[in-house]
Amino acid sequence: MSELLKTDYLIIGSGLVGMAFADTLFTETDANIIIVDRYAKPGGHWNMAYPFVTLHQPSAFFGVSSKELSRGDIDHIGLNQGMSDLATGAELLAYFDDVMRQRFLASGRVQYFPMCEYEGDGTFRSKLTGKAHKVSYEKLVDATFLTIAVPSTHTPNFTIAPEVTFMPLNDLPKVTSKPEGYVVIGGGKTGIDACLWLLSSDVDPNDITWIRSRDAWLLDRENTQPTEEFFSSSVGSIAAQYEAIGGASSIEDMFDRLEEGGYLVRLDQAVRPTMFHAATISKAEIAQLQRIKNVVRMGHVTAIEANRIVLAKGEIKTSNAHVHVDCSASLERSFGHKQPVPIFDGNCITPQMIRAYQPAFSASMAAYVEVQYDTDAQKNSLCSLVPPPNNDVDFIPMTLAMMMNQFNWSQDKPLRHWIRENRLDGFTKLISSVDKDDQQKMKIMQRIQNNAMPAITKLQQFNVELAQGAEK
C-alpha cells in the first residue's frame, strides 16, 4: 500500500537544478513543494565528487538565488590567485544542506524525501524501507534532465583487465605508494582536475601520461569574474566575442579570432581543438598542465590490458604497476541520448539550459517564468533551449540560441529588472551600473552594441552552413 501525498509542485532531483528552481518558486509563490531524490543529501552529483573538486566558475553566481555562496573574497593563493573564490565540494554540500534545512524545511511548506527513487506517475519509493508514496500534484518538475555522469558513478565504455589498477579520480588520495606512473584517461574538466591535483602533489610531470582523445577549446576564467575590477576582461570578453564572430570570414576563422581576442584558450597551440564543453580554466592552470608532455592522442580507449592500452588509433604500453585514473565520464555520454523537450508542457516542467554556462540561472529563471506568465507558449518562447555543446562547432547554435534569448528578455521590462536583481545572473548588474562618464567602460559597451547584430547574423549564416554540411 502506498501512502498518499498532495502538493502543488513535485520536484524530482535536489541537485543544483532542483534546488535553484525550488528556491525561486519558494520566493515567488506560497506554493507547497515536495522534493524527491535518490541521494541522502541535497547537492546532486556533488555528493559523489572527488575530494579536491571545486567549481570552475566563480561561486558568486552558483547555487540558489536567495543565498550567497561566495565568500566575497578573492583567492590569495593557488592557481586561482587574484580571482573570485571557487567553492569546494564540501562547501557546496554544506550550502545546499543549509538551504534545504534552514530555508525550505523550516518553512513547513517543503517536504523532502531523500533516499527515494522516483518511479514515474507520481510515485516514489524509499530505497531504505521499500515504502512507496503516491503524490497528487498540480505540476511535476523533472530536475534530472541535466544530470551529468561523474567518474565515481558511471561505467566506463572500455574493458579493463582484472589485474589492472584502475580507479576514478575520487580514489587518487587513497594511493599509498608511488606507482610506476599515472595514466589519466579523459581530456575534459575531470581529467584537468586529476592532472592538476597530481602536479600540485609534486608528482613529476614525466610520470603522468594523459590520454586526451580530443583537445578542447576552453574558457578563460579571467573572463568570468563578476566584479568591477574585472570589467574590462569580463564584459570586455563579450565585446571581443561579438567582434570575433561578426568579423569572421569562415567558421575556422571565427575560432582563430575568438582565440586571438582572448575569449577561447587551449592547452596546446600545435593542436586544433575539436571539442567544446565550456570547461573554464586559469592561465596559471594552463601553464601547469603544459608541463605534462606525455599526451596520447589516439582516439578513445577501447581496452586496458595488463601490458597495453588499446585505443581507437593505436596502442601504448602500460603495466600492473601503473595507476589508471578514470576521468572518462563525459558530457557527450550524459546528454548524447537525451531528446530535448519543451521546458513547459502542460503539468510537466523540465528545466534545461536557457543561458549557456549558467545552469543555476537557467533553473531559477524557469521557475520565475512558470509563476509570472500564463500560457506554455509564452513561457517557452522566453525559455528557448540552449543546446549543450560537445563538438567545437556546437559553439555556434549554443551562442546563437543564448543571444536570441538574451534579446527577447531585454524586450520585457519586469523580466529585465528581475534578471538584474538575481544574484545568479553573471554580468547584468555589472553592465547596468556603468557610469556614463566612465569612458573606458562606455567604449566596451559601445563595442558590444555595435557588434551584437553582426554576430547574430554571422552565427545564423554559420548555422545554415553546418546544417547543409550535415545533410551532405
Ligand X SMILES: Cc1cc2nc3c(=O)[nH]c(=O)nc-3n(C[C@H](O)[C@H](O)[C@H](O)COP(=O)(O)OP(=O)(O)OC[C@H]3O[C@@H](n4cnc5c(N)ncnc54)[C@H](O)[C@@H]3O)c2cc1C
Instruction: Please give the C-alpha separations between residue 258 and each of 235, 311, 404, in angstroms, as whole numbers.
Output: 15, 32, 20
Does position 55 interact with ligand X (CB under 6 A)? The reply is yes
Helix (H) or strand (E) holding 372: helix 359-372
Q: Which of 17, 79, 164, 398 binds ligand X (CB under 6 A)?
A: 17
Fill in the per-residue mask, 133 to 162: x = in contact with ligand X (CB under 6 A), - = not in contact: ----------xx-xxx-x------------
Stretch binding ligand X (CB under 6 A), from 51-59, 127-135, 317-325, 464-472: 51-59
**Concatenated DSSP letters of 77-98:** SSTTTTSB---BHHHHHHHHHH
Q: Which of 10, 33, 35, 36 binds ligand X (CB under 6 A)?
A: 36
Task: Specify the residue, 147 or 319, whose C-beta has the smaller distance to ligand X.
Answer: 147
DSSP-H helix ranges across 82-157: 89-98, 106-107
Query: How many residues line the site for ligand X (CB under 6 A)?
Result: 30
Task: Specify the residue, 22 or 393, whose C-beta has the smaller distance to ligand X.
Answer: 22
Task: Specify the residue, 172 or 244, whose C-beta has the smaller distance to ligand X.
Answer: 172
Does position 359 interact with ligand X (CB under 6 A)? The reply is yes
Task: Specify the residue, 194 or 251, whose C-beta has the smaller distance to ligand X.
Answer: 194
Does position 344 interact with ligand X (CB under 6 A)? The reply is no
Task: Specify the residue, 186 or 261, whose C-beta has the smaller distance to ligand X.
Answer: 186
**CA 148, 154, 159, 164 torsion-angle sign:** positive
Rounded to the nearest whole angstrom, what is the least distance from the CB of residue 19 to ligand X in the complex? 7
**Concatenated DSSP letters of 332-368:** HHHHTTPPP--SEETTEE----SSTT-HHHHHHHHHH
Does position 41 interact with ligand X (CB under 6 A)? The reply is no
Task: Specify the residue, 213 or 350, whose C-beta has the smaller distance to ligand X.
Answer: 350
Rounded to the nearest whole angstrom, what is the least distance from the CB of residue 116 to ligand X in the complex? 6
Q: 429 is written with which cell numbers?
A: 548588474
Does position 170 interact with ligand X (CB under 6 A)? The reply is no
Stretch binding ligand X (CB under 6 A), from 31-39, 132-140, 152-160, 392-400: 31-39
Task: Specify the residue, 55 or 64, whose C-beta has the smaller distance to ligand X.
Answer: 55
Contact 396, 463 (CB under 8 A): yes
Name every residue whose Cβ is closer than 8 Å to that of residue 118 and which is 6 or more positions away in sequence: 12, 36, 38, 124, 144
Does position 57 interact with ligand X (CB under 6 A)? The reply is yes
Map the footprint of ligand X across residues 117-136, applying CB under 6 A. 117-118
Contact 198, 291 (CB under 8 A): no
Q: Which of 7, 11, 35, 56 binds ligand X (CB under 6 A)?
A: 56
Name every residue whose Cβ is closer than 8 Å to that of residue 149 and which is 6 or more positions away in sequence: 329, 330, 333, 334
Q: Which residue has the cell 555556434?
A: 396
Q: Which of 7, 24, 37, 237 binds ligand X (CB under 6 A)?
A: 37
Rounded to the nearest whole angstrom, what is the least distance from the CB of residue 67 to ligand X in the complex? 16
Dist. CA 424–CA 100, nearest whole Å: 18
Q: Map residue 247 onto helix, strand or coil.
A: coil
Q: Which of 45, 103, 379, 441 binds ligand X (CB under 6 A)?
A: 45
Q: Which of 93, 360, 386, 403 binds ligand X (CB under 6 A)?
A: 360
Does position 112 interact with ligand X (CB under 6 A)? The reply is no
Task: Specify the residue, 135 or 254, whose C-beta has the smaller distance to ligand X.
Answer: 135
Q: Map residue 232 onto helix, strand or coil.
A: helix
Q: Which of 21, 26, 62, 230 binds ligand X (CB under 6 A)?
A: 62
Q: 359 is written with which cell numbers?
A: 545552469
Rounded to the nearest whole angstrom, what is the least distance from the CB of residue 42 to ligand X in the complex? 7
Name every residue whose Cβ is closer than 8 Å to that of residue 407 and which is 6 or more positions away in sequence: 456
Contact 444, 235 (CB under 8 A): yes
Rounded to the nearest whole angstrom, what is the least distance from the CB of residue 275 to ligand X in the complex? 16
Dist. CA 249–CA 199, nearest whole Å: 40
Task: Specify the residue, 293 or 338, whose C-beta has the smaller distance to ligand X.
Answer: 338
Q: Which of 7, 15, 164, 448 binds ligand X (CB under 6 A)?
A: 15
Q: Which of 25, 53, 267, 289 binds ligand X (CB under 6 A)?
A: 53
Length of the chain in terms of residues written: 472
Instruction: Please give the C-alpha separations between residue 136 and each of 4, 99, 120, 140, 287, in angstroms, as whole numbers.
Output: 7, 25, 12, 10, 55
Dist. CA 389–CA 264, nearest whole Å: 14
Map the footprint of ligand X across residues 188-247, applying CB under 6 A. 189
Chain positions contacting ligand X, by CB under 6 A: 12-18, 36-39, 44-45, 53, 55-57, 62, 117-118, 143-144, 146-148, 150, 189, 358-360
